[in-house]
C-alpha cells in the first residue's frame, strides 16, 4: 500500500530573488507548492550577480570553520547533480567547470602561509596536493615561473553565477512559480504569533509561510520581528573583469593568490576579485581596492597587463556573526530565514534549496542544517544594519 504523501503547505511567499530565494522557490514550485517570490528590484542582481561563482570548499576554508566546512563539502557534492537538473529544467547550462583550483605563493613568506593552508586542508580531509613547477607550468603556462609554491584542489569547481540566476528564474517560472520583480521594499506581515504574508508594492499578499532570503539586507526587511532578525551585515567586495581571447585563454583553472583570486570564464572574461571590506553598503570602487587586486593578480599572471578591463563592480556578501549561514525556522511560526551565506552562497545554493524546501514541506529539519539555525546566537536583538552604519 502506498503511504499517503504529506499535505502540501499553503501559500509560500519568499522575500528576495537572489540565488537563495530563487533556488528555494524552484524546489518548492517543482514539488507542487504555490510559491511567489517578491524582489524589490531585478531578481539576481544582488550578491548573486556580483559573485565569482567558485565552489571552493577546500581552497577557501579558514581555521575554526570545521562545522561550516562540513556543510560546504555537502553542498559541493550536490553541485554536479544540481547543475544537471537545472539544465534539464531550464535549458540553460550554468557552465560547471571542473579544472580545479590552484592556490599559489608568490614569496617565501607566502609559502609559509600556503603550508598552513595545506596542513588545514589535510586535517579536514580535503583532497589537495602540492604541484611541482613542471606540472604547474604545464597546466598553466602563463603563470609567473618564479612562484614559490602551489597547491591543487581538484574538487573545487566553478559555475557561471550569472547564468545560474537566469537558469533559476526560468526553472522557477516553468515549475509554476510566480516571480514579482521591481515591487520595491517588501515587508513581512505577522499576526499575534505567526507570519501571515507580505506587503509589496502597496498590496497585501497572504501566505502561510514567509521565507526571508534578502541577503545582506535581511535585517532591514520591514516587519521582521526583533526575535527573528538575524545578525547579518554587508561585507563589501570590489571586483573587476578583463577580457582574454576565448580561443587562447591565459588561464584555465581558478587561481588563488593570497590577496586576490582569478576566475576564467568560457566567454573569455577573466574575473579578478575580491576585496573584503567592512564599509556597510558603500558602493564606491576605490583606486586602492583595484590596485591591490591588480597588483596581486599581475604578480601571479603577468600577461593580464595586456588585457582590456571590461567591467568593475561592487557586491555585498551577507556576512553573519560567525560567517556561517542562518537557515531554518524562527520563534515566529511560519517565518523562515535563509540568509548569511557570506562568501559561499553560490556553493551553498543546492543544500540551502533542498533543506529549506524540505523544512517548509515536511516540518522536519534536515540534519545538515541543524547547527545553522538562528537559535545558535542565543536570545538576541540584533541592531538593524542601517542603525549600525549610522552609529
Ligand atoms: P542576494 O543575491 O544579495 O539576493 C538578495 C535579494 O534580496 C536581492 O536581489 C535584493 O534586491 C533583495 N531584497 C533585499 N531586501 C529586500 C526587500 N525588503 N524586499 C524585496 N527584496 C529585497 N559565493 C560563492 O559561493 N562563491 C564565490 O565565488 C563567491 N564570490 C563572491 C564575490 C563577491 C564580490 C561577493 C559580493 C559575493 C561572493 N559570494 C560567493 C557570495 C554569494 O554571492 C552570496 O553569498 C550569495 O549570492 C547570497 O545570495 P542571496 O540570494 O542570499 O543574496
Ligand atoms: N568567495 C569569494 C568571495 O566572497 O570573494
What are the tens digits of pLDDT across the range 342-358? Answer: 999 999 999 999 999 99
| Residues with C-beta less than 6 Å from any ligand 1 atom | 15-21, 38-41, 45-48, 50-54, 185-186, 213-217, 221, 237, 239, 273-274, 315-318, 339, 341-347
Is position 89 within any domain?
Answer: no
Place of cell 607566502: 110
CA 282, CA 184: separation in Å to the nearest integer? 20
Would you say residue 386 has pLDDT above 70?
no
- Indicate if 132 and 247 belong to the same structural domain: yes
- Indicate if 238 and 315 belong to the same structural domain: yes
| Three-state SS at 236 | strand
Question: pLDDT tens digits, residue range 301-310?
Answer: 999 999 999 9
Question: pLDDT tens digits, residue range 150-200?
Answer: 999 999 999 999 999 999 999 999 999 999 999 999 999 999 889 999 999
Q: Which of 46, 57, 274, 290 to probe ligand 1 with, by most ligand atoms within 8 A of CB? A: 46
- Indicate if 298 and 359 belong to the same structural domain: no
Is position 20 within any domain?
Answer: yes
CATH number, domain containing residue 333 = 3.50.50.60
Is position 29 within any domain?
Answer: yes
Give the domain-ending residue among 271, 297, 319. 319
Q: How many residues does the chain have?
A: 391
CATH number, domain containing residue 263 = 3.30.9.10
Give the domain-ending residue among 319, 343, 369. 319
- Over the chain, what is the mean pLDDT? 95
* pLDDT higher at 390 or 286: 286
Question: pLDDT tens digits, residue range 229-274?
Answer: 999 999 999 999 999 999 999 999 999 999 999 999 999 999 999 9
How many domains is the chain built from?
Answer: 2
Please state which of the ranges 5-9, 164-168, 250-254, 323-327 shows the lowest mean pLDDT: 5-9
| Residue 223 cell numbers, joined | 516587519
Is position 122 within any domain?
Answer: yes
Q: Exposed, middle or buried: residue 335 (CB in 10 Å: 0-12, 13-18, 19+)?
A: buried
Give the domain-ending residue among 275, 298, 319. 319
| Residue 274 cell numbers, joined | 575580491
Atom of ligand 2 nearest to the CA of 347: 1
Compute, in angstroms, the gap from residue 185 CA to the centroid of ligand 1: 16
Residue 391: predicted pLDDT: 31
- Indicate if 206 and 282 belong to the same structural domain: no
- Indicate if 381 and 239 belong to the same structural domain: no
CA 140, CA 147: separation in Å to the nearest integer? 12
Side-chain-side CA neighbours of residue 19 (13 Å): 30
| Position 3 confidence tier, pLDDT thresholds 50, 70, 90 | low
Would you say residue 146 has pLDDT above 80?
yes
Handedness of CA 102, 108, 114, 115 (dihedral sign): positive
| Position 2 confidence tier, pLDDT thresholds 50, 70, 90 | low
Atom of ligand 2 nearest to the CA of 239: 5
CA nearest ligand 1 atom 36, residue: 315
- Nearest ligand to the C-alpha atom of residue 61: 2
- Indicate if 224 and 299 belong to the same structural domain: no
Residue 7: predicted pLDDT: 67
Question: pLDDT tens digits, residue range 65-122?
Answer: 999 999 999 999 999 999 999 999 999 999 999 999 999 999 999 999 999 999 999 9
Residue 389: predicted pLDDT: 41
Is position 93 within any domain?
Answer: no
Atom of ligand 1 nearest to the CA of 275: 34
- Indicate if 110 and 250 belong to the same structural domain: yes
Give yes or no for a contact between 384 and 229, defined as CB atoms under 8 angstroms apart: yes
Is position 78 within any domain?
Answer: no
Backbone angles phi, psi at 129, to 5 degrees: -150, 155
Is position 7 within any domain?
Answer: no
Q: In what order do the strands lie in the sheet with 232-243?
A: 129-130, 149-153, 101-105, 254-256, 261-264, 269-273, 232-243, 309-320
Backbone angles phi, psi at 360, to 5 degrees: -65, -40
Would you say residue 4 has pLDDT above 80?
no
CA 57, CA 121: separation in Å to the nearest integer? 10
CA nearest ligand 1 atom 8, residue: 46
* pLDDT higher at 67 or 8: 67
In this structure, the dihedral spanned by the alpha carbons of residues 136, 137, 142 and 147, taken in order and rounded to 10 degrees, is 60
- Indicate if 133 and 243 belong to the same structural domain: yes
Is position 82 within any domain?
Answer: no
Residue 387: predicted pLDDT: 41
Q: Is the CB of 273 under 6 A from ligand 2?
A: yes
- Indicate if 280 and 218 belong to the same structural domain: no
Q: Is the CB of 317 under 6 A from ligand 2?
A: yes
- Indicate if 213 and 241 belong to the same structural domain: no
Would you say residue 388 has pLDDT above 80?
no
Would you say residue 1 has pLDDT above 90?
no
Q: Which residues, 6+ apart, have CB-to-CB distance to 302 below 8 Å?
A: 142, 144
CA nearest ligand 2 atom 4, residue: 343
Average pLDDT of span 269-289 = 98
Average pLDDT of span 358-373 = 97
CA 127, CA 118: separation in Å to the nearest integer? 10
Determine the structural domain holding residue 330 and report its residue range.
12-56+162-231+321-390
Atom of ligand 1 nearest to the CA of 263: 28
- Indicate if 269 and 153 belong to the same structural domain: yes
CA 247, CA 382: separation in Å to the nearest integer? 50
Average pLDDT of span 120-146 = 96
CA 32, CA 202: separation in Å to the nearest integer? 28
CA 144, CA 215: separation in Å to the nearest integer? 38
Place of cell 558603500: 282
- Indicate if 173 and 298 belong to the same structural domain: no
Atom of ligand 2 nearest to the CA of 342: 4
Q: Is the CB of 343 under 6 A from ligand 2?
A: yes
CA 337, CA 334: separation in Å to the nearest integer? 10
CA nearest ligand 2 atom 3, residue: 343
Amino acid at each position: 500500500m502506498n503511504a499517503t504523501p504529506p499535505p502540501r503547505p499553503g501559500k509560500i511567499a519568499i522575500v528576495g530573488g537572489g540565488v537563495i530565494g530563487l533556488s528555494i522557490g524552484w524546489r518548492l514550485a517543482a514539488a507542487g507548492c504555490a510559491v511567489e517570490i517578491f524582489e524589490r528590484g531585478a531578481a539576481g542582481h544582488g550578491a548573486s550577480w556580483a559573485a565569482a561563482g567558485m565552489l571552493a570548499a577546500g581552497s577557501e576554508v579558514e581555521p575554526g570553520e570545521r562545522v561550516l566546512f562540513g556543510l560546504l563539502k555537502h553542498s559541493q557534492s550536490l553541485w554536479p547533480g544540481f547543475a544537471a537538473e537545472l539544465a534539464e529544467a531550464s535549458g540553460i547550462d550554468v557552465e560547471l567547470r571542473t579544472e580545479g583550483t590552484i592556490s599559489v605563493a608568490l614569496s617565501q613568506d607566502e609559502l609559509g602561509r600556503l603550508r598552513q593552508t595545506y596542513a588545514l586542508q589535510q586535517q579536514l580531509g580535503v583532497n589537495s596536493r602540492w604541484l611541482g613547477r613542471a606540472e604547474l607550468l604545464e597546466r598553466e603556462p602563463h603563470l609567473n615561473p618564479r612562484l614559490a609554491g602551489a597547491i591543487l584542489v581538484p574538487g573545487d569547481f566553478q559555475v557561471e553565477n550569472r547564468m545560474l540566476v537566469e537558469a533559476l528564474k526560468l526553472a522557477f517560472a516553468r515549475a509554476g512559480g510566480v516571480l514579482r520583480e521591481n515591487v520595491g521594499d517588501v515587508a513581512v506581515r505577522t499576526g499575534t504569533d505567526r507570519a501571515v504574508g507580505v506587503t509589496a508594492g502597496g498590496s497585501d499578499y497572504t501566505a502561510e509561510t514567509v521565507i526571508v532570503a534578502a541577503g545582506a539586507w535581511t535585517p532591514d526587511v520591514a516587519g521582521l520581528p526583533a526575535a527573528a532578525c538575524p545578525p547579518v551585515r554587508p561585507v563589501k567586495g570590489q571586483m573587476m573583469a578583463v577580457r582574454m581571447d576565448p580561443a587562447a585563454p591565459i588561464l584555465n583553472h581558478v587561481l588563488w593568490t593570497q590577496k586576490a583570486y582569478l576566475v576564467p570564464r568560457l566567454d573569455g572574461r577573466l574575473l579578478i576579485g575580491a576585496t573584503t571590506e567592512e564599509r556597510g553598503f558603500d558602493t564606491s570602487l576605490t583606486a586602492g581596492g583595484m590596485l591591490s587586486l591588480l597588483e596581486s593578480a599581475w604578480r601571479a599572471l603577468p600577461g593580464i597587463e595586456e588585457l582590456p578591463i571590461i567591467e568593475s563592480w561592487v557586491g555585498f556578501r551577507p556576512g553573519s556573526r560567525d560567517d556561517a549561514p542562518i537557515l531554518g525556522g524562527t520563534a515566529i511560526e511560519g517565518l523562515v530565514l535563509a540568509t548569511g551565506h557570506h562568501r559561499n552562497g553560490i556553493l551553498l545554493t543546492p543544500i540551502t534549496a533542498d533543506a529549506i524546501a524540505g523544512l517548509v514541506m515536511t516540518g522536519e529539519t534536515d540534519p545538515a542544517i541543524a547547527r545553522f539555525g538562528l537559535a545558535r546566537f542565543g536570545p538576541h536583538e540584533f541592531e538593524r544594519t542601517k542603525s549600525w552604519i549610522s552609529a
